[in-house]
A = this chain, B = another copy of it.
Amino acid sequence: MPQVEEVTETKVHKLETAKEVRVGIVGYGTVGRATAEILAHNTDEIRRRTDGVSIRLTRACRRTLHSSDRLPGSAVLVSDWREVVDAEDVDIVVETIGGTDVAYDVVRASIENGKPVVTANKALVAQYGEELFALADARGVPIGLEATVGGGVPVIRAIAEALAADRIHAVYGIVNGTANFILTRMEHHGVQFEEALRQAQAAGYAEADPSLDIDGLDARDKIAILARLAFNASLAPSQIPVTGIRHIGATDFHYARRLNSTIRLVASAERNPQGISVSVEPWLVEHDSMLAKVDGPNNAIFVAGEKVGTQMLYGHGAGGGATGTAVLSDVVQIARHLARGQRVPNGLPGFHRPEKVALTDRAHPVSWYLRLTVRDHPGILARVAEVIAREGINIDSVIQEPHMQKERLSFVITLEPVGESVVRRAVAAIDQFEFMREKVLLVPIRSC
């Protein structure tokens, strides 16, 4: 069979030693540091996986050097990322800066230098992945991205490799540990969103600016990556509708419990006859479901294939240990190939020659949870019910907790399955009523 494809690169990084692959880390924060520590700590374990090849950290870059910074072994700490990317003694570049500015330059320059890159940067891959992978594939350089989604949970491998022969119907799940920590705090301790957020910050799960997590933007980058892989679909995060968890209240968990359910922030991508539907939004899920069992900062990702059925992958979705392990899984795999003189570009579906795929509303009608917060007076339910009936929607149940303030009373209506555009018309009309104290909280009810 097969010739190795001609690689047109003009500049090829030469590997020098026979039994050692040298790693440089750009971005020495939580993940970068954890990666260095695991590499130093598990040297023997790793050598066993690489067939005797050592993987050694030679350089790390941190923009602002601290006098207390120490690197394992003889590695050198530098403050200019070019001193890593251009270094003769770096064979694989690990990018753990985050963001899409400097990180973009680092990854691009590494590829241009012919050096494999491993990145934990979901924002970069979601937004610039197509361009960067095209460059990398043309140069015959692999990019490792296992750490971008699910922390240590190997969901990228599952979709790109384990299900390579199956036709995937859907990928969905909990991909943001911070949001899940907040929701499960609210569920188990009855606290309001603001208090749960403070607890997440105190526990080190949420940033001072928690917007990426609680507004669903981090989850949106991740589902963009998973949808690309699963459906070979070219799509940008900005195309994906996103609803965060700021508007979920303690009262919603009371009502959810009455419905034998709880609330989870779910990122989802589903194939349908017209294309794919992709979203990030809270779901009401039954207590008995696997999603409801996902507690604290954990992640759980479901992949439904035509032949393989539905799989779930569950584990720590964030933190240095989990993410550093995922980074190193890619480093080890690339090092094994390098040690054989092989560069195996990813050729990943969704990044390598993706297709244009139509983004549509979700195909199947689902049930809905509507929480209304009103200034109570007689006749409210009749007026709301009339709007719902006008759209031809059946009400499944109406629930109201006792002993609420009349000035700010909340109650819940659940609806039988109906398409999203129809329910949104009804909600828009309800939002106009003068007795509404805030907008309707609309949450799909999913059984899975």
Instruction: Tell whether A51 is near chain B: CB-to-CB under 8 Å.
Output: yes
Q: A311-B314, A338-B1 are in contact. Are A167 and B42 (CB under 8 A)?
A: yes
Give how many A residues have a beta carbon under 8 Å from the other chain's beta carbons: 76
Interchain CA distance A377-B294 in the complex, whole Å: 48
Establish whether residues A154 and B158, one from each chain, have CB atoms under 8 Å apart when the complex forms. Answer: yes
Q: Once bound together, how far apart are the Cα atoms of A293 and B314, in whole Å?
A: 14
Contact assessment for B152 and A154 in the assembled complex, using a CB-CB cutoff below 8 Å: no
Which residue of B has the minimal Cβ distance to A317?
B309
Closest CB-CB distance, A174 to chain B, in whole Å? 13
Residues facing B in A15-60 (CB within 8 A) are: 15-21, 34, 38-39, 42, 45-46, 48-51, 53
Copies in the complex: 2
- Chain B residues closer than 8 Å to A15, beta-carbon distance: 1-2
Name the residue in A161, A316, A344 with the highest tally of chain B Cβ atoms < 10 Å from its Cβ: A161
Quick check: B157 and A307 within 8 Å, CB to CB? no
Query: A322 contacts B340, CB within 8 Å?
Result: no
Q: Is the CB of A347 within 8 A of B338?
A: no
Which listed segment binds B: A182-190, A235-243, A328-336? A328-336
Give chain B residues whose Cβ lies under 8 Å from the Cβ of A16. Answer: 1
Contacts of A322 in B (CB 8 A): 307-309
Q: Is A326 an interface residue (CB 8 A)?
A: yes
Which of A312, A316, A344 gathers the greatest number of chain B CB atoms within 10 Å? A312
Question: Is A102 interfacial (CB-CB < 8 Å)?
Answer: no
**Contact call A38/B165, Cβ cutoff below 8 A:** yes
- A46 CB to closest chain B CB (Å) equals 5
Q: Is A146 an interface residue (CB 8 A)?
A: yes
- Within the complex, the shortest CB–CB distance from A321 to chain B, in Å, comes to 4
Chain B residues whose C-beta falls within 8 Å of the C-beta of A167 in the assembled complex? 42, 45
Q: How far is the CA of A336 from the CA of B339 in the complex (A)?
A: 18
**Chain B CB within 8 A of A352 CB:** yes
The reply to whether the CB of A164 lies closer than 8 angstroms to some CB of chain B is yes
Closest to A15 in B: B1
A256 vs B344: C-alpha distance in the bound complex, in angstroms? Answer: 52
Q: Are A311 and B153 in contact (CB under 8 A)?
A: yes
Point out the residues of chain B lying under 8 angstroms from A312, CB to CB.
312-315
Q: At the interface, yes or no: A232 with Cβ under 8 Å from chain B?
A: yes
A98 at interface by CB-CB < 8 Å: no
A337 and B344 contact, Cβ closer than 8 Å, known pairs A46-B165, A307-B38, A316-B308:
yes
Contact with B along A148-170 (1 / 0, CB 8 A): 00011110011011111111000
A365 contacts the other chain (CB 8 A): no
A146, B45: Cα distance in complex, Å: 21
Output the nearest chain B residue to A162 by Cβ-Cβ distance. B154
Report if A154-B157 is in contact (Cβ < 8 Å); known contacts: A38-B166, A166-B38, A336-B347: yes
> CA separation between A342 and B290, bound complex, in Å?
41
Q: Are A308 and B325 in contact (CB under 8 A)?
A: yes
- The answer to whether A310 touches B315, judged by C-beta atoms less than 8 angstroms apart, is yes
Q: Which of A16, A309, A342 has the most CB of B within 10 A?
A: A309
Taking the closest CB of chain B, its distance from the CB of A146, in whole angstroms, is 7
A-B contact pairs, 28 of them (CB 8 A): A1-B17, A2-B15, A2-B19, A2-B53, A4-B340, A42-B167, A46-B165, A48-B349, A50-B347, A51-B347, A146-B162, A152-B309, A154-B157, A161-B333, A162-B329, A164-B333, A165-B324, A165-B331, A308-B322, A309-B316, A309-B321, A311-B314, A311-B315, A312-B312, A336-B344, A340-B342, A342-B342, A342-B344
Closest 7 CB pairs of A and B: A1-B15, A165-B328, A154-B162, A311-B315, A152-B308, A307-B321, A309-B316
